Amino acid sequence: MSETLLEVKNLKKYYSSSKGIFSKKNESVKAVDGVSFTIEKGDVFGLVGESGSGKSTIGKTILRLHDKTEGEVRFKGEDVFSLIKKDLRRLRVQTQLVFQDPFSSLNPRIRVGDAIGEAMVQHGLATNKDVREKVLQVMETCGLSPYHADRYPHEFSGGQRQRIVIARAMALNPEFLVMDEPVAALDVSIQAQIINLFSELRKKNGLSYLFISHDLSVVEHLCTKIAIMYLGNIVEMATKEELFDNPLHPYTKALLSAVPIPDPRVKRERIILKGDIPSPVNPPSGCKFRTRCPIATELCAEKVPEFRDVGNEHFTACHYV
Amino acid sequence: MLSEALLEVKNLETNFYTEEGVVKAVNNVSFSIGEQETVCIVGESGCGKSITSLSIMQLIPESGKIENGEVNFAGRNLLEMSKKEINRLRGNDIGMIFQEPMTSLNPVYTIGQQMIEPLQEHLLLSRKDAYKKAQELITLLGIPNSEKIINMYPHELSGGMLQRIMIGIAISCNPRLIIADEPTTALDVTIQAQILDILRDIKKELNTSILLITHDLGVVAEMADYVIVMYAGKIVERGPVMEMYTNPQHPYTKGLLKAKPLIGERKESLFTIAGQVPNLAELSDSCYFADRCEHRMDICLKKHPELKETSANHSVSCYLYEGEAVR
Ligand SMILES: Nc1ncnc2c1ncn2[C@@H]1O[C@H](COP(=O)(O)OP(=O)(O)O)[C@@H](O)[C@H]1O
Ligand SMILES: Nc1ncnc2c1ncn2[C@@H]1O[C@H](COP(=O)(O)OP(=O)(O)O)[C@@H](O)[C@H]1O
Ligand code: SF4
Ligand code: SF4
Ligand SMILES: [Mg+2]
Ligand SMILES: [Mg+2]
C-alpha cells in the first residue's frame, strides 16, 4: 500500500511586480496558478517546463520557504502552512532543498566538513563528540573523501560542490528532497555521476524527491512520475512510462520533439513552436498555450481546458485530447 | 570529401600566464573547415573550445597569448593581420555569435541602430537602405512586427529574440564563415529548436560554413558534418559525424556518448567517467585523460599520444589505436 507523502491542492503563488517606474498598476505575476499533485513515498516526481514556468516557485512554496497565495500543501497529512514553530523546525529537518548552483548555498569561509556537521549538531542528530565520524560517513555515501572535510568550497569543482550540498542535505536524514535543477550546470560526465548518486540514495535510504529539471532525458532516466508545466499550470501529468510512451498534450509533444537526439542516423519530424513563452503577468485567455499551439482553435481562446484524468492515471488539459 | 578548406587552423597554441602557472588552454590544435561545411567542436567546460574560436579572431583576453600556429582563411594568415584588418574581416567575411547575446549588444542603442552599423560600414549602404535591410533580416529570422522591434532596446527582448538578432547581425554582410559559440546553451529547448532551424536554413541559402561550439552531443548530431572532440586543450578525436557516432574510438568520446541519458532508453544506471578534468596549469607528461581512463596502459603515463589518422579523415589520439594505425 502506498503512502502519501506530499499533497498539493490548487496551489497558487502570485508575486506582486511593481517593476519599472512607469507601471502604475501593481500587476501580479501568476507564477503558479492552481496546481495539484501528490507524491507517494518512494516517488521521484519530475517537474518539467521551460524557464519561467513556475517550477522553482513550486519547490520553494511546498517547503514553505515563502508564503502561498492560495491552496493547500500537506506533508504527511499535516498542513504545512499552519504548522507551529516547533513543528516547522521538524519539517526543516525532514525536507531539504538542493539548488542548481551549489556555490551560492555554501559559505566560502566554512570548511565543508563543518558546513555538513553544523546542522547535524544544531538539530540534535549528532553530538560534538561523534559529529566528525558522522560527517565522514555521509561524505563517503556521497562520493567524497575524508580529506575533503578540511577544505573550503572554492577548492572544489562544480560536481564536487554539488556532492557537498547533497551530503549536507543527506546529513539530516531527510525523507523528502526538493532538487531544483541539480545537474543543469554540470558537464555530461559529472552529471552522470551525480544522477547515479541520486538513484543509489533513493534505493538505500528510501528517499522521495521532487526533481525539477528542464531536461527530459534526465527526467525520464530518474523519475517515476512526471508533470509538464507551462506558464504556471501543469498541462500533463502521468507515470514516466505513460508520459513518454503516450504523450498527449500538444506542448509535451513539442517539447519531446525539440530534444536533440545524439544519433545522426535518426531523422524525425520536429514540431517547431512559434514565438516565445508569453508573460505570466498577462497570460493568454482560455488555454495559455494557445498562442504557440499548432492545433489551436477559437474554442481554445474562449474556454480554459479542464485538467482531467484520461485513464491510466494520465492527466492532461487540452480540449482536443 | 568536401571541397578545399575555407579555414585552416594549424598547430594553434594559446596560453594564459596566471599566478597558478601557465594554462595551456589551446594545445597544438589543428583542423580545417571546408566550404559549406559545419564543423562542431564538442567537449566539457574548460577544455578550450571558446579560446580556440577566439584565438582564430585574435579576440582572446589580455592575459592570454597566442604562441604558435597559423590560421589560414581564404589564403591569408589571420594571426598575422593587424587588429584593423581583422575587424574588417569580422562582420564581413566572418560572423560571430556568442552564448550571451546581451554581452555583444550595447544596451543604450536600439536594435536597429546596432544592426545598421555593419551594413553601412561593410556594405556601404545608405542609412535608409540599411534600415530596410535590417528590417528584412528581422522578418527573415521569424520575428514578427519587425518595424516595432527595430526601435526597441535589447533589454526589451527575450533571450531567444536577442539571439536571433545576433544571428541577423552576423549574417547581414553575407559572411563565408559563421563562428557560433554555444549559441543555444542559455535557451530553452523549444527556442533552441528554432535557432538551430534558422542556422540550417542560413547554411543552405547563403552557402556559409559554420564553426559551431557546443557541449551538447545532441546538437552536434543534428548539425555537424564533421566533429572535433576536445579534452584538456587538445583534440583527442576528430572525424565525419557518422563515423564519430557509429565508430567512436577515443575512450573519452565513447564515455561521453554513453554517459548521456537518452530518451526512450531507461537504463538502471548511467555509464560514468570517473574523476574530473585536469587542471590545465598542472598538466603532467602522461596522456591527459590517463587518470580517468579504463584502458590506461604503462605507455600512457609516459607521453600524451599524438593525433593519428585511423581511417579516412578520422583521427584519434590514443595508444590503443597506434598499433592499428601503424599496421
Ligand atoms: N521573487 C519574485 N518576484 C517576482 N516575480 C518572480 C519572483 N520569483 C519568480 N518570479 C517570476 O515567476 C515566474 C516563475 O518563476 P520560477 O518559478 O523561477 O520559474 P522556473 O523555475 O520554472 O524557471 C517567472 O515569470 C519569474 O519571473
Ligand atoms: N582569462 C583567462 N585567464 C586564465 N585562464 C583562462 C582565461 N580564459 C580561459 N582560461 C582557461 O582556458 C581554458 C579553456 O577555456 P575555454 O576555452 O573558455 O573553455 P570552454 O569554452 O571549452 O569551456 C580553461 O581552463 C580556462 O580556465
Ligand atoms: S486546448 Fe487548444 S490551444 Fe490548448 S493545447 Fe489543446 S488544442 Fe492547443
Ligand atoms: S592513451 Fe591510454 S590513457 Fe590515454 S585514452 Fe588512450 S588508453 Fe586511455
Ligand atoms: Mg527555476
Ligand atoms: Mg566556452
Is residue B199 within 8 angstroms of chain A, CB to CB? no
DSSP A212: E
In order, the DSSP letters of B175-206 are -SEEEEESTTTTS-HHHHHHHHHHHHHHHHHH
> Residue B183 has what pLDDT?
94
Distance B216 CA to ligand 4 centre (A): 23
Q: Which parts of chain A sit beneath pLDDT 50? A: none
Contact B266 A261 (CB under 8 A): no
Tens of pLDDT, residue by residue, chain B (327 residues): 445 799 999 999 999 999 889 999 999 999 999 999 999 999 998 999 999 999 999 999 999 999 999 999 988 999 999 999 998 898 889 999 998 888 889 999 999 999 999 899 888 999 999 999 999 999 888 888 899 999 999 999 988 899 999 999 999 989 999 999 999 998 999 999 999 999 999 999 999 999 999 999 999 999 999 999 999 999 999 999 999 999 999 999 999 999 999 999 989 999 999 888 899 999 999 999 999 999 999 999 999 999 999 999 999 999 999 874 443
Is residue B200 within 8 angstroms of chain A, CB to CB? no
Q: Is the CB–ligand 2 distance for residue B45 below 6 Å?
A: yes
B41 - beta bridge partners? B213, B228
Interface ipTM:
0.90
Residue A15 three-state SS: strand
Of all protein residues, the one whose alpha carbon is nearest to atom 1 of ligand 3 is A318
Q: Buried (b) or exposed (e) across B153-162, using 16+ Cβ within 10 A?
A: ebeebbbbbb
Grid coordinates standing for B140? 527573415
- Cα A253 from Cα B142, distance rounded (Å): 22
> Residue A1 has what pLDDT?
57
Contact B271 A192 (CB under 8 A): yes
In order, the DSSP letters of B69-108 are EEEEETTEEGGGS-HHHHHHHBTTTEEEE-S-HHHHS-TT
Distance B46 CA to ligand 6 centre (A): 7
Tell which of B189, B252, B254, B280 to mutate to test the A interface (max A CBs under 10 Å).
Answer: B189
Q: Buried (b) or exposed (e) across A268-291, using 16+ Cβ within 10 A?
A: eebbebebbbbebeebbebbbbbb
Long-range Cβ pairs for the range B136-145 (8 Å, 24+)? B137/B168, B137/B171, B137/B172, B138/B111, B138/B164, B138/B165, B138/B168, B140/B168, B141/B165, B141/B167, B141/B168, B141/B198, B142/A274, B142/B194, B142/B198, B144/A275
DSSP B31: E
In one letter, which amino acid is B39?
V
> Residue B33 has what pLDDT?
97
Residue ranges of the domains in chain B? 5-93+173-321, 105-172
Q: Is the CB–ligand 3 distance for residue A296 below 6 Å?
A: yes
Q: Is the CB–ligand 3 distance for residue A305 below 6 Å?
A: yes
Under 8 Å between Cβ of B212 and B38: yes
Q: Is the CB–ligand 3 distance for residue A254 below 6 Å?
A: no
Chain centroid to CA B146: 29
Of all protein residues, the one whose alpha carbon is nearest to atom 6 of ligand 3 is A318
- Please tell me which of the candidates A189, A272, A274 has its beta carbon nearest to residue B256: A189
**Ligand nearest, relative to CA of residue A321:** 3
pTM of the entire predicted model: 0.93
Q: Is the CB–ligand 1 distance for residue A283 below 6 Å?
A: no
Reference B71, options B52, B53, B88, B56; nearest CA is B56
Contact B190 A254 (CB under 8 A): yes
Hunting for cell 525539477 — which residue is that?
Answer: A212
Is residue B51 within 8 angstroms of chain A, CB to CB? no
Under 8 Å between Cβ of B92 and B122: yes
Grid coordinates standing for A25? 498598476
- Cα A17 from Cα A307, distance rounded (Å): 28
Contact A265 B242 (CB under 8 A): yes
Q: Is the CB–ligand 3 distance for residue A287 below 6 Å?
A: yes
Distance A318 CA to ligand 3 centre (A): 5
Residue B44 three-state SS: coil
Distance B99 CA to ligand 5 centre (A): 19
CATH of domain B5-93+173-321: 3.40.50.300
